[in-house]
Structure 1
Amino acid sequence: MKIYTPPTIVRYFLRLTLTALFAVSFGLTQPARAATDSRPQKGGIKIELSQKGVYRITGSDVSAAGVNPASIDPASLRLFHGNSEIRITVASAVDGVFDPTDAITFYAPGIDTRYTGTDVYWLYWGTAVSGRRTLPANGAITGDSPLISASGETLDVEENHTLWSDTPDAPDADYWFWEKLSAPQTTRLTFDVPSPANSSGDAVLSVYFQGRSGGSHHTVITLNDRVIGDEIWTGALAHFQTMAISQTDLKAASNQLTIDSGTAGSVIYLNRIEIDYLKNLTAKSNALIFGIHQSEKVQVSLSNFSRENISVLDVTDPVNVSLLSGINVQTINSTFKATFQHTGGEKTYAAFTADAVKTPDRITYKKPVDLKNPANRSDYILISDETFMPALEKLCELRRRQGMQVKTAAMEDVYDAFSFGFFDPAAVQAFLKHASENWQPPAPQYVLLAGDSNLDYRNYFETKKQNIVPVYLNHTQELGLTPSDNWFVSFDENSPVPGMNIGRIPGADTEEVAAIVNKIIRYETTEADFSNRVLLVADDDDTAFEDLNDLLASHLPFDIFADKIYARLYADLDEVTTNIKASIDGGELITNFVGHGDVTRWGAEPAGGGDFIIAPEDVKDLTNKDRLTFIVALNCLNGYFSQSFNYSLAEEWVMAPDKGAVACIAPSGLSHSQEHELFSTAVFENIFQKKENRLGDICTQSKIDAYYSGASDKVLISLNLIGDPATRLAVYRNSADQVTAHWITASAGSGGKISPSGETPAFDGSSQTFTITPADGYAVADVSVDGASQGAVTAYTFNAINKNHTISAAFKVKSGGGGGGGGGGCFISTLQ
């Protein structure tokens, strides 16, 4: 019997919360989405940055991005942030040319959303509209007015180390937290307060919590060994505890804040702390961003600049920035101070010297994206990272040979066109909705998302798992945060019913994606000898699991046979596992599991622990290369594909090279048997009665059938297809869709490599090139094709392919620095 003890992280993904009010106050405002787009629809420079401040881009920067600055008229330069053109300063000679030393300067307020901390700007030129320029403003001191050298500041101190998926109101609220506190736990935080003014006035310290347990909470807060707050509150709700303190209680460095979580049985999360205090207006590294809140006219004194060329911008409205003139600059000892007049009202200013101006993190020229072109027409859309596209090209070619029009969309292009370049999953939905409603009819039917996703958008867990195609986290009542690809194709905001067939394949790199592509191609181009068998597996603790499988068996036609493995009938679960693997290796059209599950296992309870039947290591044991199955997982959580630390079992089935499953449909949330019955019955009816065989059509229609038969919207939201929705199941195939593929097996000896390596599919009549690359100190000795020597070539192309082939490369140590031996040119051969 296999016993599994889950790691403490196994339930980290369970739900989120905070009210919309707190979401705003916590700085979780979202980047604008491109419902309307005022940007010039042409090529431009994409500017990415991760800090707020004043930025400069020079003609040399533009040149490094691949644009000749001499082709730019400085008067035509326009800078956009989201849908707004912002005012910029252009420092250029009057020759009408943007020279290498010319520059534009602009203010960026920064961005901080649940998705990203990277802000995006777009620079355009050459349009008929002149660019907007920084406005002038008078900062000269006139008349008598009070002088201030300090102003109110709000300091946010926050770290994100854990999440609670079960937070109410997720995912709209902040669901990342600093620390989980289980009473009577005490925690101590250390934080700095930049430049606190020497004042006897009041300051305010607020601590933001999230209740997890539903009862009473008692939080006692101590600052620098003095109790400043003692409060009782209740419920699994967002709560903030605000305390008035003296300005003198704050130190510039190493303040100690202690939180005692008090009441036994209480469980809360610490979210962040906020300090409202009086801050000295002293520059750091010759820059200072600050607010002035006086309603009346005052003189503002700024200090601690090491240079004299001090500029002050009014950045209250970041779109309409103005530059203050008449600044009074004086020398104080070895530093400089600036004084200007604030005319009244709530305003934000940025003061800086030239050496404090920042350079963007990334400056890239981007060609126009044609994803909004109404002339586009496609049956099949593939979205992935641009670097993954070569590994996906064979899959696209398979679809084309089946008569589909294919459109590939690089993920960055989708962001650029539909969320102004911001990382935002909503861009995917906006793109697909646009394609459905605006491209040439008929609308696209199939969407494949290719590449890993990660619910940790900001990489707080530091796992480095990428969001190659992002996940959208929906909300379900039982689980909270629930990954849902269905959301991307639900175009009516009032309905979860999908408008396209969608699926995704995982993969961290091109090799993993290519391995899945090869599995799909082999599956679809090979005549199946196992299409008359279906495996029905039931968990061991509820006869209802068996009853559902028996019901599904009754939907099979006379020529389709059911193999049943019911764990309750076995004394040892190891024998169940062995028999499941043997059945799949022998060939099963569909493998249907009914029972319990967690993210990575069959048979385990969602809470973790206990016995299990199948885990990722069992998938790795399979040998069913030519007999891939289609997995239908009627359990909980197997389809939770966006974990930060591992892959879900649904993904493991599909990612296993040359084995496992061609696709898997599984829930990313908690499920109910009644909904499983409605969905799985529809699956079997759509396949075996209606003879539908494209997986996307089967799964999407079955979800819709279940939904309209009484299942909740979870059946639409949480059932995710891991696999290509256009894959043809190995039964009831249309001969008109049949495509012939051949396989070329490539290998290399020590001392170099051949690319691509392993088995590579090649469609009938196509070409395939292999590149042979020796390692340092080695040369190509020989390349053999189908056992015949081709000499020491460094590339070989098969043309008009109509059968399987082999190619192997051998290498030798270079002798006496004499080069590669045997020639290094490209030898092209046509093999029939």
Structure 2
Amino acid sequence: MPQQHRISFAFAGALLAAMATAADGAPSRFRIEVRDDGVYGITYEALAAAGLQGQPAAGLLAVHHRGDPVPIWVEDGGDGRFGPGDRLELMGRRLTGTTSSSDPHSPTNVYVLDVPTALSEGARRPARMRDPSRTEGTKAAANPPLVAHRHLEHDELLLRFAGRHEEGEELWYWAKLTQIDAEPFRQTLDLSDLDPAGSRPLDIRLRLRGWSRPARPEAGMADHRVEVTFDGRQLGAGEWNNLDGSYDLVLPSLTAAEVTPGPHELAVRVPKRIGADGNPLVDVAVIDWIGLVYPRQARLRAERDRFELDDDAARLRLAAPGRRSVILYGDGGTRQVGRRDGSDGFAFEPLAGRGFEAVADGLLLQPAGLTLDTPSTLATTDHRADYLVVTPPALRSAVEPLLELRRSQGLAVETVDIQDVYDEFNHGIPHPQALRAFLSHAWHSWRRPAPRFVLLVGDASWDTGEQPDQARYPDAAYQPGHGTAFAQVDSTPYPADRRADPNLRPPPSYSTQDGDAPRRQLRGGG
């Protein structure tokens, strides 16, 4: 082969390799932050703005949650590349607590998107949503009964009860009730989608907890009592003692025929009771949440809606007047485009599963945040520090004078980004358990000697809803503020032998508006 031809082929090969690299970009990882249940859409443009390079192969995109694969749908226009105009879709769930419907420490759940340049040897192919419409056969009768599960809850009161505290214990409550309230607690129940022909009844459950503690128990009388009305008529009552902790009041069922679709009022009050000595009993309770279960109509209430079947079914028809399209996303990882059925409906068959999210006209949810992950190596053993500092980037410069002092005193200082702690020890989810796991790893696995001091830097507030300025804290609870605050680390990973414990001081917490706080502490100014 002539020399010039060999050069030409070599040049062409190099050019093709460069083009492939430009298309694939570099391997990257993104955090997808969600705060509500539903189906989310993430566009190529949003990822590119967050730092995505090139146009990666669509088949390589993979999403995980807490390390488990999450099926996604990738709209790539059929060219196999994830580029301009494309998007991925995933079903996201808000973060729940161990014993509560929302996590008391963080409102943010995180799904991790990996964008590799190639599938590693032996790796499974990324999980994808499937379309059950492409399968054959049906498994049950059509037109199944639908059931609605509604959970009503508002975090308005932060309470810490005396006595033993359990991990994941509920901290936030909705409303306070007392025997001297002028009006009962009232809540409007939106039952506009109730099916009056349904065979399932309307079931209502209330989660309550007692707050007051009688100085001397009354014989034959419970510590707490509430009475409940539905549209002004007595529906039920419940009594419990403080030793019971949280109390679930299950009200008598109402047949669907007794309740018309539309708004209804639920009222809860603490009645006046007289003790054995003739004096009124003090009775203070709090409402945590209200749960509803009832038969529902097969009709979209909004552009996004939740549907649950009472039994397996072959076909579902949803009324959606005025909608151009409806897509059904199943809890089991399915995605099904509705077929137009009449002037106002869409049909889905065959069905797979019983729980679905319906999305009309492509109106998907948008993530609360989308950020590029910066790789870190905290989980390795190749670190050592005497003085370990965990801080968000915004406050790093504020504590630098303090760190310079510690270095001048001969201490080995390592500064850690709190986001890296979340990424490596809790799959990106911001939570105290990530910090505990990291400190345990640093103590047990980093090079000896282990860290002796730990300094935690941050802006302090009990309000995970990020609304610290609202007056939602009872006088008996912690009052949030700004500037320097102190918080004791309540759980450490270190041995019970106090001689082996590092010196965990109550860590100062700074805000960016109080950047001189470390310098004042160095001067003894507090």
TM range (shorter): 0.7 to 0.9
In percent, how many aligned pairs have the same letter? 20
Please state how far the C-alpha of 1:457 moved relative to its aligned partner.
2.6
Q: Which amino acid is the alignment partner of residue 277 of structure 1? A: Y
Instruction: Tell me if the contact between 1:91 and 1:104 (Cα under 8 Å) persists in the aligned partners.
Output: yes
Partner of 2:358: 351
User: Is it true that 1:54 corresponds to 2:39 in the alignment?
Assistant: yes
Partner of 1:180: 176
Q: Deviations over 1:655-696 (max 9, x none)?
A: xxxx3x4xxxxxxxxxxxxxxxxxxxxxxxxxxxxxxxxxxx
Distance 1:328 1:141 in 2: 16
Distance 2:503 2:510 in 1: 23
Runs of 4+ in 1 over 6 A off after TM superposition: 466-471, 494-498
Q: Which amino acid is the alignment partner of residue 103 of structure 2? A: T
Distance 1:145 1:123 in 2: 37
TM-aligned CA distance change 1:199 to 1:469, over 3 Å = farther
User: Is it true that 1:205 corresponds to 2:216 in the alignment?
Assistant: no
TM-aligned CA distance change 1:484 to 1:77, over 3 Å = same
Gaps of 5+ in 2: 1-26, 96-101, 274-280, 472-479
Distance 1:242 1:360 in 2: 36
Gaps of 5+ in 1: 1-41, 472-482, 523-627, 629-658, 662-832
User: Is it true that 1:121 corresponds to 2:111 in the alignment?
Assistant: yes
Instruction: Tell me if the contact between 2:204 and 2:293 (Cα under 8 Å) persists in the aligned partners.
Output: yes
User: Is it true that 1:242 corresponds to 2:250 in the alignment?
Assistant: yes
Instruction: Tell me if the contact between 1:435 and 1:443 (Cα under 8 Å) persists in the aligned partners.
Output: yes
Q: How many residue pairs align between the two structures?
A: 459
Please state how far the C-alpha of 1:93 moved relative to its aligned partner.
4.6
Instruction: Tell me if the contact between 1:205 and 1:273 (Cα under 8 Å) persists in the aligned partners.
Output: yes
Distance 2:483 2:367 in 1: 23
Please state how far the C-alpha of 1:462 moved relative to its aligned partner.
4.3
User: Is it true that 1:485 corresponds to 2:489 in the alignment?
Assistant: yes
3-state DSSP class of the match of 2:520?
Answer: helix
Partner of 2:389: 382
Instruction: Tell me if the contact between 2:33 and 2:109 (Cα under 8 Å) persists in the aligned partners.
Output: yes
Please state how far the C-alpha of 1:285 moved relative to its aligned partner.
3.4
Q: Which amino acid is the alignment partner of residue 409 of structure 1? A: V
Distance 1:390 1:194 in 2: 55
Q: 1:195 pairs with 190, 193, 196, which one?
A: 193
Instruction: Tell me if the contact between 1:450 and 1:507 (Cα under 8 Å) persists in the aligned partners.
Output: yes
Please state how far the C-alpha of 1:432 moved relative to its aligned partner.
0.9
Please state how far the C-alpha of 1:284 moved relative to its aligned partner.
3.3
TM-score (normalizing by structure 1): 0.51
- Larger Rg, first or second structure (1 or 2): 1
Please state how far the C-alpha of 1:490 moved relative to its aligned partner.
3.2
TM-score (normalizing by structure 2): 0.79
Distance 1:103 1:520 in 2: 50
TM-aligned CA distance change 1:305 to 1:57, over 3 Å = farther
Partner of 1:306: 322
3-state DSSP class of the match of 1:209?
Answer: strand
Which residues of 2 match residues 739-778 of structure 1 at below 5 A?
none
Which residues of 2 match residues 157-556 of structure 1 at below 5 A?
157-166=152-161, 169-171=164-166, 172-185=168-181, 186-191=183-188, 192-199=190-197, 201=199, 202-212=201-211, 213=213, 215=217, 216=222, 217-237=224-244, 238-243=246-251, 244-248=253-257, 250=259, 253-262=262-271, 263=273, 264-294=281-311, 296-304=312-320, 306-316=322-332, 321-324=333-336, 327-332=338-343, 335-342=344-351, 347-459=354-466, 462-463=469-470, 484-487=488-491, 489-491=492-494, 499-512=501-514, 514-522=515-523
3-state DSSP class of the match of 2:320?
Answer: strand
Q: Deviations over 1:334-357 (max 9, x none)?
A: x332243446xx621122245222
TM-aligned CA distance change 1:220 to 1:141, over 3 Å = farther
Instruction: Tell me if the contact between 1:162 and 1:178 (Cα under 8 Å) persists in the aligned partners.
Output: yes
Partner of 1:79: 63
Q: Which amino acid is the alignment partner of residue 504 of structure 2? A: I
Partner of 2:91: 107
Between 1:457-466 and 1:169-178, the stretch displaced more is: 457-466
Instruction: Tell me if the contact between 1:399 and 1:406 (Cα under 8 Å) persists in the aligned partners.
Output: yes
Instruction: Tell me if the contact between 1:139 and 1:340 (Cα under 8 Å) persists in the aligned partners.
Output: no
Q: Which amino acid is the alignment partner of residue 454 of structure 1? A: S
Q: Which amino acid is the alignment partner of residue 493 of structure 2? A: S
Instruction: Tell me if the contact between 1:206 and 1:241 (Cα under 8 Å) persists in the aligned partners.
Output: yes
Q: Which amino acid is the alignment partner of residue 113 of structure 2? A: L
Please state how far the C-alpha of 1:281 moved relative to its aligned partner.
2.4
Please state how far the C-alpha of 1:519 moved relative to its aligned partner.
2.8
TM-aligned CA distance change 1:466 to 1:224, over 3 Å = same
Instruction: Tell me if the contact between 1:300 and 1:339 (Cα under 8 Å) persists in the aligned partners.
Output: yes
Instruction: Tell me if the contact between 1:190 and 1:254 (Cα under 8 Å) persists in the aligned partners.
Output: no
Please state how far the C-alpha of 1:64 moved relative to its aligned partner.
0.6
Please state how far the C-alpha of 1:113 moved relative to its aligned partner.
1.2
TM-aligned CA distance change 1:146 to 1:167, over 3 Å = farther
Instruction: Tell me if the contact between 1:411 and 1:469 (Cα under 8 Å) persists in the aligned partners.
Output: no
Distance 1:107 1:148 in 2: 25
Q: Deviations over 1:164-220 (max 9, x none)?
A: 312555343223222222225352322223511123642111121112335523322
Q: Which amino acid is the alignment partner of residue 100 of structure 1? A: P
Partner of 1:757: none
Q: 1:65 pairs with 45, 50, 58, which one?
A: 50
Greater RCO, CA 8 A, separation 6+ = 2
